[in-house]
């Protein structure tokens, strides 16, 4: 049974929208970009951030199908920093600042953690979670992507997300996997035609 014919993706980040939309396109699903940002709650837990985001956006958009996503980069040597503060840290010290913090550090393991929250209707949500492990490179590499892409090498690879180009990044990245999961769920539940 068809429940909705399009899904809104709420993000102020064009790159995120393009990555998610490319994945949905593989399943012939259409994502409508809603370019708004809501203030993020301050918490060490990404789960808190995504749940509050979902609640705030529900108040703005009302009873329509939508997806919100929240991602953090967690660096083990730095006890999970920048984690939920990734956005602020990227804007303030950027990739160069992270590389500086890891100067001379051997343990470069890190992971991207992503939550996606799908609002179906009538306050019914489904939560999705993906973690991609990898390492922080020794220098910025690659021209593609955004954010910390030039310094993140996913496990099993030798190149950074930024060196992969958008479509290849989508095959291995946290967001690629997350939106694959969401698309499969939507199709399995026959939520769209």
Catalytic residues: 70
Q: Using the rule CB under 6 A, is 170 a contact of ligand IMP?
A: no
Residues 118 and 150: their CA atoms lie apart, in Å, by: 29
Given 54, 65, 142, 147, the residue binding ligand IMP (CB under 6 A): 147
Using alpha carbons, select from 162, 13, 63 the residue that is nearest to residue 21.
Answer: 13
Site string for ligand IMP, 149-168 (x = CB under 6 A): x-----------x-------
Residues 96 and 100: their CA atoms lie apart, in Å, by: 6
The CA R_g of the chain, rounded to the nearest whole Å, is 17
Task: List C-alpha distances in Å: 52 to 49, 63, 69, 98, 175.
Answer: 5, 16, 11, 28, 20
Q: Using the rule CB under 6 A, is 87 a contact of ligand IMP?
A: yes
Choose between 70 and 163: whose C-beta lies nearer to ligand IMP.
70
Q: Using the rule CB under 6 A, is 76 a contact of ligand IMP?
A: no
Longest Cα separation, the chain? 57
Choose between 149 and 163: whose C-beta lies nearer to ligand IMP.
149
In the complex, the residues that contact ligand IMP under the rule CB under 6 A are 13, 70-71, 73, 86-87, 90, 145-149, 161, 173, 175
């Amino acid at each position: 049974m068809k429940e909705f014919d399009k899904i809104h993706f709420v993000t102020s980040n064009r790159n995120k929208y393009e990555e998610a939309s490319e994945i949905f396109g593989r399943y012939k699903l259409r994502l409508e970009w809603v370019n708004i940002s809501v203030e993020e709650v301050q918490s060490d837990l990404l789960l808190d951030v995504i749940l509050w985001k979902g609640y705030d956006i529900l108040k703005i958009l009302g009873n329509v199908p939508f997806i919100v996503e929240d991602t953090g980069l967690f660096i083990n040597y730095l006890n999970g920093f920048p984690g939920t503060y990734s956005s602020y840290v990227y804007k303030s010290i950027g990739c160069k600042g992270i590389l500086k913090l890891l100067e001379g550090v051997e343990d470069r393991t890190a992971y991207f953690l992503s939550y996606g929250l799908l609002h179906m209707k009538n306050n019914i949500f489904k939560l999705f979670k993906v973690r991609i492990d990898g390492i922080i490179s020794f220098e910025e590499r690659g021209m593609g992507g955004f954010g910390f892409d030039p310094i993140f090498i996913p496990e099993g690879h030798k190149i950074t997300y930024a060196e992969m180009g958008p479509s290849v990044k989508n095959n291995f990245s946290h967001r690629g996997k997350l939106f694959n999961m969401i698309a499969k769920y939507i199709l399995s539940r026959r939520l769209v035609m």
